[in-house]
Structure 1
Amino acid sequence: MSAEPLGAQAGRERGESAAWATWQASPWGRLRYRVVGRVLRRWCTVLGPGPLRVLDAGGGDGRDALQLALAGHAVTVLDRSPEQLALARAAAAAAGVGERLHTVAADLEDLTALAALTRHREGGSGSFDVVLCHDVLQHRTSHEQVRADVATLTSSVRPGGLLSLLAPNPAADVVAAALREGPAAAWVALEAERALDPATGRSTLRLEAAFAEEALAAAGCEVAERAGVLAVTTLLEDAERVDERLAADLEELEVELSGRPEFRPTARFWHLAGRRR
């Protein structure tokens, strides 16, 4: 099979970027960042008052990282897109925390080089207190690559620090398909070998939380925290018309449900924190 032409690849990536931006601006997109931000801040309290050193690997426009910068932590956003990193810096500057958010144009494959850099500057690889990798691993080419990624990410976390992983939950595809399109669509989602990214519609790995937990354990982490993000919001038929008052009410509900184990299995995203041994 011939390789995808560069022009076609660039066009596809621009289309996915536009779809992602639209999703981020939607009620459920905005809530996803608010809920995850609150969950992360709670999880980070076990590491002390800070400021913590945070790496957001594949952090894009920095929306997750910004939540921690606003909490007083020093954040480095790593992403391969200069355009996305420029958005991250602009958002941090607009929020008054530009000095706390720094960017590095690199990909996950460059984490080894980044570890060498931090060894020179900050006293050793594994110098970050917290490493985030959100909405990234499902886009990797294989489960074997995800295992390797988790091991590399873990090497950037100091002993006792946290590695936060988040990805779409394949079980949520089945529930959403049943509610929106009927049982036939749910069967298709149930039997599919791959999942769909909820933001772009792009085919992705079916990445179960249980697999991520196994990868964390193999990399030398114990699973310290578990959450399910957006248990109800993405199932609302009229979510497009959610106003700010209802969004605030939904946020409180989603934060509460995120910590309840009975709601994790079908939440839109699974969210894990591994503590490096």
Structure 2
Amino acid sequence: MSEPPHPEEAAVAWRSAPWGRLRHTLVEHTLAVVCRTVSGRPLRVLDVGCGDGSDAVALAHGGAEVTALDSAPLVLERARAAAHRAGVAERVRTVEADLGDVVALTALTGGGGGTFDLVLCHDVLQHRPGAGSSADLAADVAALASRVRPGGCLSVLGPGSAAAALRAAVREDDLRGARRLLAGEGPAGEDAGAPLPADRVEEALAAAGTPVEFRFGVRVVTDLLPDARKGERGYYEDLLELERALCERPELVAVARSWQLVGRRRPPRRRAGTGGRLATLPGC
């Protein structure tokens, strides 16, 4: 009788499967929707916490110039390798840094002065030391927003609690565990960290001058379906098409594995009595 795979090996195998990469595939779809509304070509993108570069490479493949930040050198090596394999290495610049460095840079420069058309912060905020603090969350979001040029967008993605609770109840028949997860007690899934309420992030985005314009639900039904079927011919393709349709339904964001909120930084506007001069809105 063979031994079960080591947890890390199982996690790597899961992430390499199409359904394990589904988050990135769906985000490629949602970002394509967002990018069509942002002027400027090529788009200048900052990916904070880029991981293995999946989002950065997809954007670069579409013509964007991407600066990808991560604090782990090995992870950045993987991102560079992925960019090279995709033939977009010249459009992906990797920098060893993290969100804390962005916060420090913003403090040193006095905020504002954003130079990117699109800033990404996906699956990062829930891992921050001050994730449970509204003040720290607001500071992180404000720092990210300061890197966005007026009219550009800030995309934030994180785990909700409802999807993990539904999976525990439906897939694992663990009703008590589902109640704990629904209350925000415990991780939201593989490598997800603690659930982060989307409404708190939405409030922080609005306070930073980047009110939410797009709301997406990423992975609405996949985690409720049996893994055994996902290897069947044609099943994954049908699942992907369904998930693409579901992700754009705002009423399903609350039950998705991850929520994705995209705010647009308010541009300067003319204010009465300024003699035609541009007056900057708070947060810009």
Q: What band does the TM-score fall into relative to the shorter chain?
A: 0.7 to 0.9
- In the TM superposition, residue 61 of structure 1 has moved relative to its aligned partner by 1.1
The equivalent position to 2:133 in structure 1, one of 140, 143, 146, is 143
State the distance in 2 between where 1:190 and 1:114 align.
36
Confirm or deny: 8 A CA contact 2:229 2:235 kept in the other structure. Answer: no
Is it true that 1:111 corresponds to 2:82 in the alignment?
no
Number of the residue aligned with 1:162: 153
Number of the residue aligned with 2:63: 72
- In the TM superposition, residue 261 of structure 1 has moved relative to its aligned partner by 2.0
Gapped regions of structure 2 (runs ≥ 5)? 1-5, 267-284
State the distance in 1 between where 2:40 and 2:240 align.
25
* Structure 1 or 2: more helix by fraction: 1
Confirm or deny: 8 A CA contact 2:159 2:194 kept in the other structure. Answer: no
- In the TM superposition, residue 113 of structure 1 has moved relative to its aligned partner by 5.8
Is it true that 1:247 corresponds to 2:236 in the alignment?
yes
Task: Please tell me the residue identity of whatever aligns with 1:143.
Answer: S
Q: 1:232 to 1:46 in 2, by over 3 A?
A: same
State the distance in 2 between where 1:58 and 1:36 align.
15
Q: 1:42 to 1:171 in 2, by over 3 A?
A: same
- In the TM superposition, residue 31 of structure 1 has moved relative to its aligned partner by 1.3
Task: Please tell me the residue identity of whatever aligns with 1:136.
Answer: V
Is it true that 1:30 corresponds to 2:21 in the alignment?
yes
RMSD of the TM alignment (CA)? 2.4
- In the TM superposition, residue 197 of structure 1 has moved relative to its aligned partner by 4.1
Secondary structure class of the residue paired with 1:196: coil
- In the TM superposition, residue 21 of structure 1 has moved relative to its aligned partner by 3.9
Gapped regions of structure 1 (runs ≥ 5)? 1-14
Q: 1:230 to 1:71 in 2, by over 3 A?
A: same
State the distance in 2 between where 1:19 and 1:167 align.
23
State the percentage of identical aligned residues: 49
Secondary structure class of the residue paired with 1:27: coil
Is it true that 1:90 corresponds to 2:81 in the alignment?
yes
Number of the residue aligned with 2:211: 222
Task: Name segments (4+ residues, structure 1) moved above 6 Å.
Answer: 15-19
Give the TM-score, by structure 1 length.
Answer: 0.84
- In the TM superposition, residue 30 of structure 1 has moved relative to its aligned partner by 1.4
Number of the residue aligned with 1:264: 253
How many residues are matched?
Answer: 255
Cα displacement string for residues 165-214 of structure 1 (whole angstroms, at most 9, x for unaligned residues): 001111111111101222222222223x43414223x7x33311111100
Number of the residue aligned with 2:117: 129
Confirm or deny: 8 A CA contact 1:27 1:240 kept in the other structure. Answer: no
Give the TM-score, by structure 2 length.
Answer: 0.82
Is it true that 1:152 corresponds to 2:143 in the alignment?
yes
The structure with more radius of gyration: 2
